[in-house]
Amino acid sequence: MAGKSIGYVRVSTSDQHTDRQLAGLELDRVFTDSASGKNTDRPQLGAMLAYVRDGDVIHVHSLDRLARNLIDLRRVVSDLVERGIAIHFHTENLVFTPDETINPMSTLLLSMLGAVAEFERSLIRERQKEGIAAAKTRGVYRGRRPSLTPDQIAEIKQLASTGVPKAKLARRYDVSRETIYQALKSAL
């Protein structure tokens, strides 16, 4: 029995569109993440890796959609092939399958193109830092808005003092538990 055709799509921000990735392919299931590719800690990537089985083929638009880090990219591809799962990167036209010896040229291209994706991410971060620094010198950079207002922090401190669990407070205010802990430590 032939395996399933699985798609993996990733965009960096929620306002980006996934339409062009894997357009026209007939897929049994598609996993879509809206997250940075800086690491492999992405919910839908994890779900896909848990879902795929021996004989399946994963389709990814391009290498940088799977990972922007060469170590992560090589690890994920290697783990999939060892589990009997093929992976096809469409833009680069690279296919890694478990039923054949991995082509040395494909491995070289994976490493080179993965290194380029990692380098590109480094440049993006560098430009972002430079932009923030320039905005700060012009006095226009405000940073990220606080997740909680001073009134909410006061409420959280009061509720926590009565024994309300931190996890419940985090759900109530739609923030992480770490944000709750930071609010409780704040001087307000």
Distances (CA, A) of 147 to 137, 141, 152, 166, 175: 25, 17, 10, 16, 7
**157 and 111 within one domain:** no
- Quick one: pLDDT at residue 100? 64
**165 and 105 within one domain:** no
**110 and 28 within one domain:** yes
Q: What is the chain's mean pLDDT, rounded?
A: 87
Q: Could you report the per-residue pLDDT of 123-170, keeping only the tens digit for each?
A: 888 888 888 888 888 988 888 888 899 999 999 999 999 999 999 999
Q: Determine, yes or no, domain membership for 157.
A: yes
Q: Determine, yes or no, domain membership for 177.
A: yes
Q: What residue numbers bound the domain in which 167 lies? A: 150-185
Amino acid at 58: I
| Total domain count, the chain | 2
Token pair listed for 116: 């380029």
- Residues noted as catalytic: 12
Q: Determine, yes or no, domain membership for 140.
A: no
Q: Could you report the per-residue pLDDT of 28-71, keeping only the tens digit for each?
A: 999 999 887 777 889 999 999 999 999 999 999 998 899 878 88
**101 and 55 within one domain:** yes
Give the model's confidence band at 1: pLDDT under 50 very low, under 70 low, under 90 confident, else very high.
low
Q: Determine, yes or no, domain membership for 21.
A: yes
Whether the Cβ atoms of residue 81 and residue 110 lie closer than 8 Å to each other: no
**15 and 105 within one domain:** yes
Within 8 A by CB and 6+ apart from 185, the residues are: none
